[in-house]
Amino acid sequence: MSTGTRARKQIHLAAHFPGVNNTTVWSDPAAGSHIEFSSFAHLARTAERAKFDFLFLAEGLRLREQNGLVYDLDVVGRPDTFTVLAALAAVTDRLGLAGTINSTFNEPYEVARQFATLDHLSAGRAAWNVVTSWDEFTGENFRRGGFLAQDQRYVRAREFLAATATLFDSWSGDEIVADQASGVFLRDPDAGRFAVHSTQFDISGRFAVPRSPQGRPVIFQAGDSEEGREFAAAGADAIFTRHGTLEAGKAFYADVKGRLARHGRTPDSLKILPAATFVLGDTDADAQEKADVIRHQQVSGQTAIKFLEQLWNRDLSSYDPDGPLPAEDPFVGDSHIARGRASVRMHRDPLATARQWRELAEAKNLSIRELIIQVTGRQSFIGTPSAVAAALDEFVQAQASDGFILVPHITPGGLDEFADTVVPLLQERGVFRTEYEGTTLREHLDLPPLPTPRRG
C-alpha cells in the first residue's frame, strides 16, 4: 500500500519505445535490436516493474527519404504496431499498451476491430494514438493512394474517430448470455448493429467484436495546431506533446485544459503528457558530461547536414558540418527534399527560421553541427536521480503537465536505470504509485469511467 494521503498531484509515466529518429543512439555498444520481440518485452517488463502507466509505440507507414533516397543515418524499420502490442499483452499484466495508428491509411471498421480485440486480449489495457497524414508519398503503399487533401485530414480524422466510437458503442456489454440450458447465446438479435453516414464514410452492418473491458481504447492525440488542440479537447483522453520547457508547458496546459469546459468535460478527463528524454549521472556534472556525449552521438556531422537540408530544402552535402551555416537562403517550394517525416511540416516559415538559426549561430559562434545540437534538443531531464525526480515533480506540480512519456535513447535497456533509481524517489515523494491500484489503463490514468451505451 502507498503511504500517506494523496495530497500531491500524481505523476503519470509512460515508456516510449525508441523511435526511428536521431534520439535513438544505435551505435552504442549497449544498443540492441529494434525489431526482435525480446527488445519490446524487455522495455515493457522494465516499465511494468516500475509501475508505469503504459508503453507507447510510434508508427510510420513509409521509410523516410531524403534527396530521393531512403534515409539511412537513423534506425530504419519497425514491426507492426497491433501485432507487437498483442504479443506484449502476453508478457505483462497491468501495463497499458498504446499504439499509434493512422486514420488516413486505415478504415474505421478494421481499426475498431483491432483495438477492441487488443483491449479484450489485454484485459483492458489498450490505447490508440490517433494520427493523421495526407501525403501521397505514404499513400503509394496503399490502395487508397494519396488522394486526401491536406485540409481534409482533420475532417477525416474526426469522422474516423466518430465512426469508431459508434462501432465501440454498438455493443453495450450485456448481450452475451450463453445460457447452455436454454440455448440463448445472445440476448439481443441486433447486437452490434451500426450505421455511419458522413462525408468520409458510408458504412453499416453489425460490429463483430462485443464490448471490450474499457469500452474503447484510451484515445491519445498528438497534434499541436489550433485544430489539433480542439480535436483533443473534444474527445481525446490524453495528449502527447512536445512542449518541453516549463513555461511553454504551462501555457499549453492552461490552453488545452481551458478548452475542456466548452466540451462539457472536466480538467482531469484529459491528461497532458509531453515527451521527454533523460540522462542520469552520479553527480550533476557527470550527467551533464554524459548528456553532451549523447547529443554528439545523436547529431553526427552527417546528421547535422541532413537536418539543415530539411530546413533549407536544398542539397547541402558539400558543406562542412564544423563550418558556418550556408549563406544562401532556404528554397521555398512545393516539393520537399525530405519525405515521410513529421518535422518537415514544422518548418512553417523556413526563411524566418533560417534567419533565427543564423543569428543564433553568429551570436554564439556555432558550427552547423553545434547549432543543430542546440536547436533540435528535446526537453531533457539531466542530473542525479534525485535532481531528476525533483525536476519531474516540479514540472507536474507547476501544472506544466500531468506526467511524461519518457524516450530512452538506448534500446532496449535505456529505461532500466530510471526504473531503478528515479522511480523509487518519486514514490518516496508520494507522487507516483508503488503498486497498480486498478487493472485497466483508464484506471491507471485516473480517467472518469465511460458511460454504458444505451442501444435503440
Partner 1 sequence: MPSHDPALHLALALDGTGWHPASWREPGARPTELLSAAYWTELVQEAERGLLDLVTLEDAMALQSAHPSRPDDRTDQVRGRLDSVLVAARVAPLTRHIGLVPTVQVTHTEPFHASKAIATLDYVSTGRAGVRVRVSARPDEAALFGRRDAVAIDRTRPDDAGLTQLFAEAADYVEVMRRLWDSWEDDAEIRDAATGRFVDRAKLHYIDFVGERFSVRGPSITPRPPQGQPLVTALAHQTVPYRLVAGSTDLGFVTPQDPGRTAAILAEVRAEQAAAGRGAEPLPVLGDVVVFLDEDAAAAATRKARLDELAGAELHSDALVFAGTPAQLADLVQEWHAAGLAGVRLRPGGNAHDLPLITRALVPELQRRGAFRTAYAESTLRERFGLARPANRYAAV
Task: Report the nearest approach of partner 1 to the CB of residue 99 (Å).
Answer: 11
Task: Report the nearest approach of partner 1 to the CB of residue 310 (Å).
Answer: 17
Cell triple for 30: 549497449
Q: Does 439 bind partner 1 (CB under 8 A)?
A: no
Distance CA 413, CA 275 (A): 18
Q: Does 205 bind partner 1 (CB under 8 A)?
A: yes
Residues 27-46 that bind partner 1 (CB under 8 A): 27, 35-37, 41
Residues 298-317 that bind partner 1 (CB under 8 A): 300, 302-303
CB closer to partner 1, 207 vs 432: 207
Tell me, residue by residue from 337 to 376, as one string, x for binding to partner 1 by CB under 8 A and - for no binding. Answer: ----------------------------------------
Backbone phi, then psi, for 55, in 5-degree steps? Answer: -105, 145
Residue at 257: amino acid letter? K
Tell me, residue by residue from 2 to 21, as one string, x for binding to partner 1 by CB under 8 A and - for no binding. Answer: --------------------
Cell triple for 107: 478504415
Q: Does 113 bind partner 1 (CB under 8 A)?
A: yes
Choosing from 10, 45, 49, 63, the residue that interacts with partner 1 (CB under 8 A) is 63
Choosing from 8, 10, 142, 436, the residue that interacts with partner 1 (CB under 8 A) is 142
Q: In 130-189, which ranges are continuous DSSP H helix?
A: 136-139, 153-168
CA angle 445, 212, 37 (to 5 degrees): 70
Pairing type for strands 202-206 and 193-197 reads antiparallel
Distance CA 403, CA 67 (A): 38
Burial class (CB within 10 angstroms; exposed 0-12, middle 13-18, buried 19+) of 398 = middle
Are the C-beta atoms of 408 and 39 separated by less than 8 Å? no
Distance CA 49, CA 60 (A): 29
CB closer to partner 1, 72 vs 428: 72
Q: Does 152 bind partner 1 (CB under 8 A)?
A: no
Range in contact with partner 1 (rule: CB under 8 A) among 46-54, 103-111, 235-243, 443-451 = 103-111
Report the chain's terminal Cα–Cα distance, integer Å: 44
Task: Report the nearest approach of partner 1 to the CB of residue 178 (Å).
Answer: 4
Choosing from 4, 77, 333, 456, the residue that interacts with partner 1 (CB under 8 A) is 77
**Alpha-carbon distance values, 69 to 22, 65, 150, 339 (Å):** 17, 5, 24, 10
Range in contact with partner 1 (rule: CB under 8 A) among 72-80, 214-222, 370-378, 439-447 = 72-80
Residues 117-136 that bind partner 1 (CB under 8 A): 117-118, 120-123
Distance CA 290, CA 204 (A): 56
Range in contact with partner 1 (rule: CB under 8 A) among 198-206, 217-225, 416-424, 439-447 = 198-206
CB closer to partner 1, 63 vs 391: 63
Cell triple for 48: 511494468
Q: Does 183 bind partner 1 (CB under 8 A)?
A: yes
Q: Does 455 bind partner 1 (CB under 8 A)?
A: no
Distance CA 229, CA 251 (A): 13
